[in-house]
Structure 1
Amino acid sequence: MNKLAEWGNQLYTGKRSYPFTQKHRLWFLIAGILMIAAILVPVAKGGFNLGIDFRGGSEFMVSGVQNTQVSVGEDVVKNAADGAEATVTNIAPGTMRVQTDRLSDDQTISVAGELAQAYEVEASEVTSNFIGPTWGQDVSRQALLGLLVFIVLVGLLMAAYFRTWKMSAAAIIGLLVVIIITAGIYSLSGFEITPSAIIGFLTILSYCLYDTVVVFDKVRENTKNFDQQTKRTFQQQVNLAVNQTLVRSINTSVVAVLPVASILFIGSYLLGAGTLKDLSLALFVGIIVSALSTLFVQAPLYYQLRHGDEDVQKHNKKMEALDA
C-alpha cells in the first residue's frame, strides 16, 4: 500500500512520468489501427448480429420451468420449425425466452406445444407473440438522434466550460473513438444488438465524458499562465496533468468495472442470467476503452491542437533559449 501511495505521489510531483503526450504519434497510430479493425470486423461478419427487436421474429415465453437448459428450446425449434435457429435465454428463475425468425401460424402452434412438452409445463404456461422490426427501427432512430444531440451538447458545454473549442474537439473525437472500438469489440463477440446494448453504449459516453472532464480540468489548471513560467513547456504541463490524474482515472475505472465484470462473468456465465450479457458487455468494454481514450487520445490530441498556437511556440522558443 505504501508503494502505491509513493507511486501516486511521484506521479503528482513529476518525479515519475509516463510519456502520454511525448509519444502521441504511437498512441494515435494504435488508436487508428484499432478503429479500422473495429470497422472491418462487422463488415467481414456481414453486419452486426441484430436481436429480434431489430430484425423482427417470433418469441415464446415459457414459465414454471424446472429444467432451464437452453439446448432444450433450441432442439424443439429446430425439429418443429424445419431447422430454424433459436436464441434461448433464461431471463428469470423458472422462465425461458425463446426467440426465432418469424414463423407461420402452424409452426407457432407446433413450437408452443413442443416447448410445453419439452419443458414439462402446462400449455397455458407457454405464450407466443410476433415482434415486428418497426419497433427496433424506431429505437435505432431514437438512439442515433440521442447520440447526435449528446455530442452536440457535449461540444457546446465543454467549449463553454473550458473556454476553448480545442478541448471540445479533442473530447468529441475521443468519444467517437470509444464508440467505434466498443462497437467493433461487441461485434467480434457475436452478442446480439438489443435495446439493452444500445442503452449500454449511450451510458458509456457519460462515463467517458466524466473522465475527460477530470483530466482536462487538471490540464487547464496546469496550463493556466503557462507562458509566465520557465520550469516546463506546454507539452510537459499537459503531460504532467495526465500523470497527476492517472491514479484517479485508474481507481475510478476499477471501481466502475468490477461490478460490471461481476454481472458479465458471474451473473451471465456462471448463474445463467442471460439477459444481462448485452448490457454488461457494452459497459465493460466501454469503461475500459473510455479510460484509455482519455489518457492516450484526448489529452495528447489537445496538445497537438494547441502545438501550433503562437503563445505555445513562443514559450517553446523561450524554454529552448533558457536551456541553451
Structure 2
Amino acid sequence: MSKLGNLGARLHHGEAGYDFIKNRWIWYGVSILITIAAVLGLGVRGLHMGIEFQGGAVFTTPKNMTASVSAAEGYAESASGHDAIVQKLGDGTLRIQVAGIDTKESDRIKDRLADDLQVDGEQINAELVGPSWGEQIADKAWQGLGIFLFLVVIYLAIAFEWRMAVAAFVALIHDITITVGTYALVGFEVTPGTVIGLLTILGYSLYDTVVVFDSLKEQTRDITKQTRWTYSEIANRSINGTLVRSVNTTVVALLPVAGLLFIGGGVLGAGMLNDISLSLFVGLAAGAYSSIFIATPLVADLKEREPAMKSLRKRVLAKRAHGGGESQDTPPVTAGYDDGPKAAAPAVVGPRNQSASRSRGRGRPSGKRR
C-alpha cells in the first residue's frame, strides 16, 4: 500500500507517468472495435426484453416445490408455445414468466402447469402484465436520458468549454453503447432494473471525466504565456495526476457490484440481481476507461487544432530544438504528437531540480556562502 501511495504522489507531481496522449490512437482503435462488437450484437441478437416491456403473465407456485427449474421451464414452454423464464426463490417457490400471452391463454397455461407440477390450480397465482406499462417506462427512460445528456453538455460548455462538453458526450455515448451491447451479447433480460442501472452509471462516468477536466483546466490557465509544455503534455500530466484516484474509486465501486453479479446472481441464483448488477458492472468499467483513454485525449486533439495551440507547439519545439528544453534530471512524462519535429527533445513534466549553486549556503544561520 505504501508503494501505491508513493506511486500516486509521483504521478501527481509529474515525476513518473505513462504517455496516454501519444498512444491515443491505440485507445481509439480499442474503443471502436468494442463498439462495433456491441452494435453487431444489438443488430444480430437484439435485446431480450423482459415481461414488463412485452406484456404477458407471471405464475407463482406454492412453496417448497420439488420440481426443478429446468423441468418447470419445459412445462411452461410446452403449455404456452413461448419462451419461459423460471426463477426459484428462497422459499422454494417457482416464479414462471411467459411473455406475449393474453387472459384466455393465461387461464389455460395455469391449468396445464397445475397438472404438470401436480399441484392444485388454485394454489398457483397468475398475474397479467400489460405492455403499455413497459412502454411508459421505456419512454420515460429515453426522456430522462435525453434531458440528462442535454444538461451535461450545457453545464460542461459553461463550466469548462465546448470541446470538453463534446468529449464528455462522446464518452457517455461510448459507455451506453458498450453496456447495451453487452446485454445483447450475454442475453440477459432487460427489465426496469436494467434501465435504473443504465441511468446510474452515467453520473459515475461523468464524475471521473470532470475530475480530469478540472485538473486540466487549472493547469492550462495562461498556457500560451509559457514555452515549456504543449497542451497535450499538460493534458497527459492531468491524466497521470488523477490516475490513482480514478483507479481506486473504480475498484471500490466494482467490488460490491461484482458481489451482486457473480455471487448473488451466479452462485446463489438470484436472477433478478443480474438485471441491475450487469449494467452497473459493465458501465462502471467502461466509464473509468472512457474518462482516461477517450475523453481527455479527445479534448487534446480538439485543442491542438486551435491556432493558438499550434503556435504554442511550434514555440515549444523550437525552444527544445535549440537546447532550451527543461533539465533532464527528472523522468520525462511526455505527450508527443505525431506531427511534431522528430528531432525535438521531449518535455519534462514535473518539478525542476535546482542547481547546486542555488541551494549552496542553505541551512546555515546566515544563509551566506563560505
Once the two structures are superposed, residues 92-137 of structure 1 have per-residue CA deviations (whole angstroms, 9 ceiling, x without a partner) of 5444321113346565334334545666765444211222222212
- Partners of 1:102 and 1:41 lie apart in 2 by 23
Contact 1:65 1:121 in 2 (8 A): no
* Pairing 1:49–2:40 present: no
Residue in structure 2 matched with residue 35 of structure 1 by the alignment? 35
Contact 2:85 2:98 in 1 (8 A): yes
Residue in structure 2 matched with residue 127 of structure 1 by the alignment? 125
Contact 1:91 1:274 in 2 (8 A): no
SS at match of 1:252: helix
SS at match of 2:286: helix
Aligned pair partner of 2:85 in 82, 87, 101 = 87
- Partners of 2:317 and 2:66 lie apart in 1 by 74
* TM-score with structure 1 setting the length: 0.92
Residue in structure 2 matched with residue 23 of structure 1 by the alignment? 23
Aligned pair partner of 1:273 in 260, 270, 274 = 270
Once the two structures are superposed, residues 136-169 of structure 1 have per-residue CA deviations (whole angstroms, 9 ceiling, x without a partner) of 122111111111100000011111222x111111
Aligned-pair CA distance for 1:11: 1.4
Aligned-pair CA distance for 1:3: 2.1
Residue in structure 2 matched with residue 246 of structure 1 by the alignment? 243
Contact 2:65 2:92 in 1 (8 A): yes
- Partners of 1:294 and 1:207 lie apart in 2 by 10
Once the two structures are superposed, residues 3-49 of structure 1 have per-residue CA deviations (whole angstroms, 9 ceiling, x without a partner) of 2122222211222221211122221122122212211112112x211
Count of paired positions: 321
Aligned pair partner of 1:187 in 184, 187, 190 = 184
- Partners of 2:26 and 2:55 lie apart in 1 by 44
- Partners of 1:16 and 1:252 lie apart in 2 by 21
- Partners of 1:147 and 1:79 lie apart in 2 by 39
- Measured on the aligned residues, the alpha-carbon RMSD in Å equals 2.0
* Pairing 1:159–2:157 present: yes
Residue in structure 1 matched with residue 109 of structure 2 by the alignment? 111
Unaligned runs of 5+ in 2: 322-370
Residue in structure 2 matched with residue 59 of structure 1 by the alignment? 58
SS at match of 1:308: coil
Aligned-pair CA distance for 1:242: 0.3
Aligned-pair CA distance for 1:69: 3.6
Residue in structure 2 matched with residue 228 of structure 1 by the alignment? 225
Residue in structure 2 matched with residue 289 of structure 1 by the alignment? 286
Residue in structure 2 matched with residue 10 of structure 1 by the alignment? 10
* TM-score with structure 2 setting the length: 0.81
SS at match of 1:245: helix
Distance 1:272 1:224, change over 3 A: same
Residue in structure 2 matched with residue 78 of structure 1 by the alignment? 77
Q: Which is further off, 260-269 or 135-144?
A: 135-144
SS at match of 1:290: helix
Distance 1:220 1:121, change over 3 A: farther
Identity of aligned residues (%): 39
Once the two structures are superposed, residues 245-285 of structure 1 have per-residue CA deviations (whole angstroms, 9 ceiling, x without a partner) of 11011001001100000000000111111111011000000
Q: Which is further off, 281-290 or 89-98?
A: 89-98
* Pairing 1:298–2:295 present: yes
Amino acid at match of 1:282: S
- Partners of 1:56 and 1:249 lie apart in 2 by 41
Contact 1:64 1:125 in 2 (8 A): no
SS at match of 1:65: coil
Residue in structure 1 matched with residue 214 of structure 2 by the alignment? 217
- Partners of 1:92 and 1:140 lie apart in 2 by 30
- Partners of 2:130 and 2:237 lie apart in 1 by 54
Amino acid at match of 1:159: A
Aligned-pair CA distance for 1:67: 4.3
Residue in structure 1 matched with residue 366 of structure 2 by the alignment? none
Unaligned runs of 5+ in 1: none
SS at match of 1:15: coil
Distance 1:111 1:153, change over 3 A: same
- Partners of 2:121 and 2:100 lie apart in 1 by 21
Distance 1:33 1:116, change over 3 A: same
Name which one, 1 or 2, has greater alpha-carbon Rg: 2
Contact 2:56 2:102 in 1 (8 A): no
Contact 1:38 1:185 in 2 (8 A): yes
Contact 1:18 1:243 in 2 (8 A): yes
Q: Which is further off, 172-181 or 224-233?
A: 224-233
- Partners of 1:247 and 1:116 lie apart in 2 by 58
* Pairing 1:100–2:92 present: no
